[in-house]
């Protein structure tokens, strides 16, 4: 019988980042256990326990009771939102209520009815006081919570389009307590590899081998492009930022190029609420027009692999230049997006 390990892993990544758990569960239920190795049988079992059997036995590695209680609050919210048992706004209202209850239980002063952003600021202060690094806010389409214990810094010089050099400080994050909602929803298969802030890039150390092309391209180049764009186009929204960063990945890639095309094709979506997937859709559509002269998405990986890599890179550079020209025509300091 055919081994379905790779397909299961790919489906988990695709549908989790699209927050489409209903479709994911529908698919994995049809995968025979006999077609999976023990590791992937365990993954399938974990997903079914979390989202079908209501029997999530995983435990967060945190000695701090406040952190453990906080994680339980977010875990319940993530499940509620992912299974669409409540509309997004109602799910956030549930999260706000549960955070308020948690803060009361720990005698942490706060102002009522100030909203989720305010409450997360109060949570942030408490986590900092307890010695935890963290990030809160939104990783589309859900509220995020990531917590870790250790950081170290290293300076890199990254080459972007047209041999432009971007100097960046990378903060390597280690000893995670939680890697956020995607990690929870995928039973550890996928989670953010890092992000860019205006002062530095942040990297989840366990996600990468720092000498690999994957690190150099899918992390360093991608996030350095964000870092550069934050300065050039300070109001640019996430869809356009992701479009430019993914084009930079393609342009800078070598061995990984065809794999990137396949990954973007697998994750693409026309849902505007999922910026990464929407940007992938636009890239595959625009590259398909440039490379194959068609007005639809070329999803056949065999056809992409027959195209010379330099031709694909040239098309990516042209798309980047065209996108940059559109942004500049509106005004670098005021443009919010053109996609």
Q: For residue 90, what are its two tokens?
A: 């109602």
pLDDT of residue 62: 87
Q: Quick check: 162 pLDDT over 90?
A: no
Give 295-303's long-range contacts (Cβ < 8 A, gap of 24+): 297/265, 297/268, 299/265, 301/258, 301/261, 301/262, 301/265
Cα separation, 90 vs 252, whole angstroms = 42
Contact 187, 178 (CB under 8 A): no
Contact 17, 267 (CB under 8 A): yes
- The proportion of the chain whose per-residue pLDDT surpasses 90, expressed as a percent, equals 87
Domain range list for the chain: 58-226, 233-330
Contact 307, 320 (CB under 8 A): no
pLDDT of residue 2: 60
Crossing angle of the two packed helices 88-105 and 65-82, in degrees rounded to 10: 170
pLDDT of residue 89: 87
What 3-state class would DSSP assign to 194?
A: strand
Residue pLDDT, tens place only, 238-273: 999 999 999 999 999 999 999 999 999 999 999 998
**CA distances for 71 relative to 44, 67, 99, angstroms:** 23, 6, 10
Cα separation, 319 vs 311, whole angstroms = 12
Cis peptide upstream of residue 141 (ω within 30 degrees of 0):
yes
Contact 123, 136 (CB under 8 A): yes
**CA distances for 185 relative to 15, 18, 126, 127, 142, angstroms:** 10, 11, 26, 23, 11
pLDDT of residue 207: 92
Cα separation, 173 vs 151, whole angstroms = 5
Q: What is the value of pTM for the model shown?
A: 0.87
In the chain the first and final C-alpha atoms are separated, in Å, by 44
Average pLDDT, the chain: 94
The H or E element containing residue 71 is helix 65-82
Cα separation, 178 vs 230, whole angstroms = 27
Residue pLDDT, tens place only, 292-303: 999 999 999 999
The residue among 3, 5, 6, 2 whose CA lies nearest residue 263 is 6
Residue pLDDT, tens place only, 48-93: 999 999 999 888 788 999 999 999 999 999 999 999 877 888 999 9
């Amino acid at each position: 019988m055919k081994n379905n390990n790779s397909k299961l892993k790919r489906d988990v990544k695709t549908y989790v980042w699209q927050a489409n758990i209903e479709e994911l569960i529908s698919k994995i239920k049809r995968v025979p256990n006999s077609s999976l190795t023990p590791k992937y049988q365990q993954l399938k079992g974990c997903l079914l326990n979390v989202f079908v059997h209501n029997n999530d036995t995983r435990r967060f590695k945190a000695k701090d009771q406040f952190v453990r209680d906080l994680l339980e609050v977010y875990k319940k919210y993530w499940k509620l939102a992912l299974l669409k048992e409540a509309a997004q706004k109602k799910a956030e209202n549930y999260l706000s209520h549960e955070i308020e209850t948690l803060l009361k239980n720990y005698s942490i002063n706060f102002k009522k009815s100030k909203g989720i952003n305010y409450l997360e600021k109060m949570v942030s202060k408490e986590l900092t006081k307890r010695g935890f690094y963290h990030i809160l806010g939104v990783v589309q389409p859900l509220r995020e919570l990531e917590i870790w214990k250790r950081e170290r810094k290293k300076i890199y010089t990254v080459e972007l389009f047209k041999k432009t050099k971007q100097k960046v400080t990378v903060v390597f994050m280690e000893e995670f307590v939680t890697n956020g909602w995607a990690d929870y929803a995928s039973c550890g298969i996928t989670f953010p590899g890092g992000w860019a802030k205006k002062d530095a890039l942040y990297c989840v150390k366990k996600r990468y081998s720092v000498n690999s092309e994957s690190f150099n391209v899918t992390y360093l180049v991608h996030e350095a492009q964000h870092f550069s764009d934050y300065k050039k186009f300070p109001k640019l929204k996430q869809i356009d930022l992701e479009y430019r960063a993914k084009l930079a990945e393609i342009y800078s890639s070598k061995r990984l190029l065809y794999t990137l095309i396949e990954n973007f094709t697998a994750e693409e979506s026309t849902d505007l609420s999922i910026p990464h997937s929407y940007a992938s859709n636009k890239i595959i559509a625009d590259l398909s027009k440039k490379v194959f002269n068609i007005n639809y998405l070329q999803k056949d990986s065999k056809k992409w692999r027959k195209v010379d890599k330099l031709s694909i890179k040239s098309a990516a550079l042209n798309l980047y230049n065209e996108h940059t020209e559109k942004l500049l025509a509106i005004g670098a300091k005021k443009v919010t997006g053109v996609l």
